[in-house]
Amino acid sequence: MTVLITGGAGYIGSHTARLLTEMGRKVVVLDTLERGYRDAIPGIDLVVGDIADSRTVGKVCRKHHVDSVIHFAAYKAVGESMIEPLRYYKNNVAGSIALVETLLEHDVSRFVFSSSAAVYGTPDIAPVNEDAPLRPQSVYAQTKADIERFLASCDAVGLRSVSLRYFNAAGAHDSGDMGEDWTATANLVPVVMKVLFGASTSLDVFGDDYPTPDGSCVRDYVHVSDLADAHVKALDYLATGGTSMACNVGTGQGTSVKQLITMTESVTGRSLPHKIAPRRAGDPATVFADPTLIRAILGWRATRDLREIITSAYRWHDRHPDGYAR
Ligand code: WQD
């Protein structure tokens, strides 16, 4: 039987598709290639199409004997979501509903969902566990919270799901031939890499007057390959009868922006030009995961540290300064 991976030509999706393939699992990717790359998944079955296109999804389910799904396909730019709410709700929420409807028509009932720690908004305490209230602060985060709630209601129609709330995904495949597309994100690690490789002149540190040890914001950076492993474990959990749940995917370790800069300079042996800039609206001071639940239920823990995140990201961008070919 086959795993359908929506958005599997994207950053985390491609790493997950490759891991499953290397494990001998059958995989088929559905991706519009609007933000994904064919070159990110060489040798893996790809159907270019939209999750809301029930004819295409149905055909893929029948032709490939799909029995489970990992759903990555979504728009995920926080800032963009605030100025284009209709596009985000239509693509992320309406698209997910249409996808599930077609899956149920084809008796596909195991569903792993790519959610985000952004559903917590600004948590009251750190580390954050799954009992924390969901207080999304962006349209993007709200769509993730809405889909989580929709999936939880689908237990009533026989669809079991695991929603994985990623903290800060970063890094690249150990091979150096897969990684993040820095043109499509303003996240810290790819922005640091753009500075190192001359695609940007200097890093703006968005504030150093936060109530944290060094004044800069603290986050939980989790390696993309560890994230991919979490999806495999979620699939296996559902395949052995696991009940629906949502869980954090993070290391449990907080790292400040300044610490990440220091690590980058240590790993690369190069100075990283940076300057303190005004705070960025909406940035919580400290957000990092309590990974107790995912460890207990899925047996997952992060195995790669910040040094490996920076090393792998640097290797990818060094070997592929222009990223994937279009
Ligand atoms: C990390 C830290 C910035 C850029 C977002 C989404 C979340 C998830 C990950 C999808 C912050 C600081 C950043 C820069 C900086 N995405 N920073 N200069 O905001 O924690 O999380 O991306 O699921 O949903 O909310 O990630 O990488 O943008 O920022 O100082 O040029 O780096 O202030 O403290 P964030 P980020």
Residue spans of the domains in the chain: they are: 2-167+223-249
Average pLDDT over every residue of 98-120: 98
The answer to whether residues 112 and 164 touch, using CB atoms and an 8 Å cutoff, is: yes
Contact between residue 222 and residue 167 where contact means Cβ atoms under 8 Å apart? yes
Give the pLDDT confidence of 154-192 residue by residue, as tens digits: 999 999 999 999 999 999 999 999 999 999 789 999 999
Q: Active site residue: 37, 88, 120, 140, which one?
A: 140
Going by CA atoms, what residue is nearest to atom 17 of ligand 1?
188
Which are the contacts of 62, defined by CB distance < 8 A and separation ≥ 6?
106
Higher pLDDT, 29 or 326: 29
C-alpha span between 161 and 175 (Å, rounded)? 31
Residue of the nearest CA to atom 36 in ligand 1? Answer: 187
- Closest ligand 1 atom number to CA of residue 282: 19
Which pLDDT score is estimated for 52? Answer: 98
CA 62 / ligand 1 centre spacing (Å): 40
Distance from the Cα of residue 174 to its chain's centroid: 18
- Model pTM? 0.97
Q: How confident is the model at residue 135 (pLDDT cuts 50, 70, 90)?
A: very high
Residue 1 pLDDT > 90: no
Ligand 1 center to 90 CA (angstroms):
24
pLDDT in tens, 223-280: 999 999 999 999 999 999 999 999 999 999 999 999 999 999 999 999 999 999 999 9
Fold adopted by 2-167+223-249? Rossmann fold (3.40.50)
pLDDT given at position 325: 80
The torsion angles phi and psi of 66, rounded to 5 degrees, stand at -70, 135
> CA–CA separation, 259 vs 276, rounded Å?
14
Phi (first) and psi of residue 245, to 5 degrees: -160, 170
pLDDT recorded at residue 184: 79
| CA nearest to 250, candidates 226, 285, 284 | 226
Ligand 1 atom having least distance to the Cα of 166: 23
Rg (CA), the chain: 19
CA of 20 relative to ligand 1 center, distance in Å: 28
Task: Kindly state the tokens that stand for 144.
Answer: 């993730």
Ligand 1 center to residue 21 CA distance, Å? 30
Of 288, 294, 153, nearest to 230 by C-alpha is 294
Residue with tokens 């303190």: 276
Proportion of the chain above pLDDT 70, given as a percent: 100
pLDDT, tens digit (0-9, with 9 covering 90-100), for 92-101: 999 999 999 9
Ligand 1 pocket: which of 219, 224, 286 to mutate (most atoms <8 Å of CB)?
219
Reported residue count of the chain is 326
Whole-number Cα distances in Å, 144 to 123, 176, 292, 301:
16, 30, 22, 23
Q: What is the pLDDT of residues 136-155, one digit of tens each?
A: 999 999 999 999 999 999 99
Q: How far is CA 234 from CA 6, 74, 104, 138, 258, in A?
A: 16, 19, 19, 27, 33
pLDDT-derived band at 22, boundaries 50, 70, 90: very high
> pLDDT tier at 117 (50, 70, 90 boundaries)?
very high
Please give the number of the atom of ligand 1 that sits closest to the Cα of 260. Answer: 32
For residue 63, the SS3 value is helix
- How would residue 217 be classed by pLDDT, with cut points 50, 70 and 90? very high
Answer for the pair 210, 256: CB distance below 8 angstroms, yes or no: no
Active site residue 140: yes
pLDDT tens, residue by residue, 201-212 = 899 999 999 999
- The token pair at 218 is 């603290």
Q: Please give the full DSSP string across 259-324, using - where no structure is assigned.
A: HHHHHHHHHHSS---EEEEPPPTT--SB--B--HHHHHHH-------HHHHHHHHHHHHHH-TT-S
Q: Whose CA is nearest to atom 34 of ligand 1?
A: 217
Q: Which residues line ligand 1 (CB under 6 A)?
A: 76, 78, 116, 118, 166, 168, 186-188, 191, 203-206, 217, 219, 257, 280, 283
